Amino acid sequence: MKLQFLTAISLIIFLNSCQSEITVTEFDRLGLSEITIEELHAGYENGAFTIREVTAAYLERIENIDRKGVQLNSVLSVHPGALERAAELDAILQSDGITTPLFGIPVLLKDNIDTFDLPTTAGSRFMEHSIPAKDAFIVNQLREQGAVILGKTNLSEWANFHSSFSSSGWSGLGGQVKNPYELSRNPCGSSSGSGAATSANLAAVTIGTETNGSIVCPSNANGIVGMKPTVGLWSRSGIIPISHTTDSAGPMTRTVRDAAVLLGALAGVDEADDMTRYSDGRAYPDYTQFLNPDGISGKRIGFYTAPVGNHFRVDSLMNETIRFFEEMGAEIIELSQISETNVGGAAFNVLLYEFKDGLNHYFSSLGEDAPLKSIEHLAELTKASADERERFDRNLIFLAAEKEGLDSEEYRESLERMLLHSREQGIDRVMELHNLDAIISPTGSPAWKTDLTLGDNFKLSSSSPSARAGYPIITVPMGDLDGLPFGLSIFGTAWSEPVLLEIAYSFEQNRPRRIVPQFLP
């Protein structure tokens, strides 16, 4: 009893001390908590605040919450010119008004996305001072749109493709990102910093990247909306890669509408990324046109049940969601499997080969001053550094470095097998067979306790079918267990973003489940 009393007193003292640290007067005065792109634009137009005031408030909040206070550790670097850029945009606002969908919107970028004026590190200590010569294609689009780049977010190092086991959200350069709902919990990865920062209101929106689960998992664990588009809808040039076949950047936001705004604003064909040519005629500059509050009604939706059975309380809330979909007028068809063939081994082989090829091309793009010359150079430095192998084994780096080039027969066979059974004999087959509009499944379980000794503890996941196919997926908050959020994933065939957004928006509007985090110890 005495121990319980002391624990309660300690909790009160901790929360009171955190409250004094994390209260950001200007942020609160401007009413920026949970603010959307649409609301920011309305505030700019009616004079409620300026772009510079909003930018300053976010920078102050990053300092007070991420660096001090609860020390969320989600932001690796802050842009020194953000306030100057905001002031320039205020001048344009006065003369021309709001001219683009992202005008004046403060954005944080995952730190594997190139910026010519900030380091791009992938969380690696070897890359700490690496500043590329030019922006990634999507960063150039952001600047042209009038967005304000606040800085770069921490991430799982090398986008979590470095060791046989690891802790999501950990990088050698940035340390461990914390979950804003409960600080001892994991934010999931690899876009962990982007997920935690969005949820904690450290930016209006953030951008993450995903190969398999790296947007939807942190969105699940941090109670936000996350979308990986069809590979090729957004350019990947200027992004430190894992896989040319399955990588994509994507929006991480607090609402489906904001995700739709970002999705259209950054779509476009890039000559430096050959996959984007497939988006020509399939992409939309404005995806908000598909946001229909009654978008679930009349849909035939597959329920992918393979992730079910790993946590009975998640199952219970998923069953409630299925009943809700039926009440909203959807027809549900259960799917025990999507592909009849397990292609996990082939997919892993593809990642190893493409990681080597992609990193070598990326390092080459940095020129003579590149801190790393090749993946073989990275492997050599890693083996020679006790610090690099102190916590995790780095086996994936070593395995990838030993692979041959993309002309290898093993690579070609693995790629063909993965794509066949994830596309034609996977999602495409099952959707055509059952005449489905989309497929739903629980995104994951609530966040586990961060464990730097034993690594991650994934209970369940549903991202692999869409990830291996290069097809789109969106997750939206579905509920919580003991205050820890988790999400519902909605995925489908290539270029099906309009219908996925329609269903996600309808779910969000009719069954809102977003919880504002309280930074509990």
Element (H, E) at 192: helix 192-199
| β-bridge partners, 8 | none
Of 14, 77, 82, the closest CA to residue 54 belongs to: 82
Q: How far is CA 137 from each of CA 113, 142, 159, 238, 354, rounded to the nearest angstrom?
A: 9, 9, 19, 7, 20
DSSP 3-state of 151: strand
| β-bridge partners, 484 | 481
Phi, psi of 248 (to 5 degrees): -160, 145
Catalytic residue among 166, 190, 243, 248: 190
Catalytic residue among 74, 77, 110, 299: 110
Q: What is the sign, positive or negative, of the torsion defined by CA atoms of 494, 357, 463, 179?
A: negative
**Tokens 């959807």 label which residue?**
330
> Following CA atoms 205, 211, 217, 219 in sequence, which dihedral angle do they give, to the nearest 10 degrees?
10
User: Number of C-alpha atoms within 13 angstroms, CB side, residue 276?
Assistant: 16
Element (H, E) at 334: strand 331-335
| β-bridge partners, 113 | 239
Contact between 413 and 279 (Cβ < 8 Å): no
DSSP type of residue 450? P
Catalytic residue among 124, 163, 192, 214: 214
The burial class, CB within 10 Å (0-12 / 13-18 / 19+), for 428 is: middle
Identity of the amino acid at 134: K
The residue ranges of DSSP E strands in 222-349, in sequence order, are: 225-228, 248-253, 300-304, 331-335
Radius of gyration of the chain (CA): 22
Of 77, 48, 51, the closest CA to residue 62 belongs to: 77
Contact between 257 and 38 (Cβ < 8 Å): yes
| β-bridge partners, 438 | 301
**Whether residue 373 lies in the annotated active site:** no
- Alpha helices in 426-485, H assignment, sequence order: 428-434, 464-469
User: How many residues would you count in the chain?
Assistant: 521
* Pair of tokens at residue 502: 């329609």
| β-bridge partners, 102 | none
Write the CB contacts of 275 (distance below 8 Å, at least 6 apart in sequence).
Answer: 231, 232, 236, 244
**Tokens 């959307």 label which residue?**
36
| β-bridge partners, 210 | 248
DSSP type of residue 302? E
* Pair of tokens at residue 454: 């034993």
**Whether residue 463 lies in the annotated active site:** no
User: Number of C-alpha atoms within 13 angstroms, CB side, residue 189?
Assistant: 30
**Whether residue 110 lies in the annotated active site:** yes
Contact between 78 and 59 (Cβ < 8 Å): yes
Catalytic machinery residues: 110, 190, 214
